[in-house]
Structure 1
């Protein structure tokens, strides 16, 4: 009798496991962005592996530009430029239409993977947060630039910054439709709505960029978010501070 109870128990456990697997399979079929092997689709919401797929675009420049095209992102691909440690090969300039957030200055040209992550950040993080906190969209993002041939923190020695290959952009402020400006240098500290908005969009960026550095990281980032798609190879580690 004891052996029969043991067999029945095992059958019940297997049945529960099978049921849970079927539930998980059905849920994942509705969310392909949560599967590591499905191709990246910029029209889909952010999933568990979206950040990894965006980072992989650093090795797939043609695929990246095709993704921007398929998502209807208006952009201009720039010719390769720079040299040595400061060479870039896949920079794109985003052109704003009536519904898109305008980058200011508009001449900025980050790498394609950074541009793709920026669009997903705009669609699925920044604008939803702006609607929740302010009841209106963001119409502009002020930045400190993307490409800059320099080493980390402007040092004379050591590793080069991701800015040296246009794989980064520094975000300084957000401008709402009514003209109100929320800036990182002025509004990061405190417990108010502006600080909460900035932290929410910072946290959302962590799901899309390889590196996100904010005023919580160090004094050098007191006035901006550093967002990059660093080419870290097989390790693929991510930083969010």
Structure 2
């Protein structure tokens, strides 16, 4: 949590919810509220519940990629992102019979839209112009450097309306990445 504070991240320590399924655990839970980028705060509208380590990774991505890419591509400052709740004790793709989702450990976040200082709101599943399309494509491609899994429109039917970011380890040595 000291690293989050030092990085200019506004958050609230949180209690780990009771697990509905075996294996649902969240290490050092926090509610991510906003990230300082330059002189501006970028709000995380849903204040998602995340493991502290994931909150630090995601806030670094916001500060070093989402906001600067938005300013350069959109010509406006990123002021907020619309997300899901973060932690959810459930199986992958909302199937409780499946392997646990990274959400069940607080290691994942779904993002549906980006809000800019000029009032534009760019949805992940519907960009109105070439600028917006370039922004979403750029942030999605670059996310593979920050996260182990990126899923979104076109990857499968469960991610048609949002981008899924997680840091769960994959493969026999934990270095496999899924970028779709």
Q: TM-score range by the shorter chain?
A: 0.7 to 0.9
1:240 maps to 2:179: yes
Which consecutive unaligned segments of at least 5 residues does structure 2 have? none
The alignment's TM-score, normalised by the length of structure 2, stands at: 0.87
> Could you give the per-residue CA deviations for residues 187-220 of structure 1, whole angstroms, max 9, x where no partner exists?
2xx8722111101111121111111111131122
- The aligned counterpart of 2:53 is 113
Aligned residues: 174
Backbone CA RMSD of aligned residues: 2.0
What is the DSSP-based 3-state SS (H/G/I as helix, E as strand, rest coil) of the residue aligned with 1:68?
Answer: helix
- The aligned counterpart of 1:48 is none
| 1:77 Cα offset (Å) | 2.1
1:160 maps to 2:100: yes
- The aligned counterpart of 2:15 is 79
Q: Is the 8 A contact 2:33 2:45 kept in 1?
A: no
Larger radius of gyration: 1
**In 1: Cα distance, 2:56 partner to 2:120 partner:** 26
Which of 172, 176, 185 pairs up with 2:125? 185
Q: Is the 8 A contact 2:78 2:116 kept in 1?
A: yes
Which of 190, 198, 201 pairs up with 2:136? 198
Which consecutive unaligned segments of at least 5 residues does structure 1 have? 1-64
More helix by share: 1
**Structure 1 stretch displaced more, 152-161 or 75-84:** 75-84
Cα gap change, 1:144/1:72 in structure 2, threshold over 3 Å: closer, same or farther? Answer: closer
More strand by share: 2
- The aligned counterpart of 1:46 is none
| 1:223 Cα offset (Å) | 0.5
1:67 maps to 2:7: no
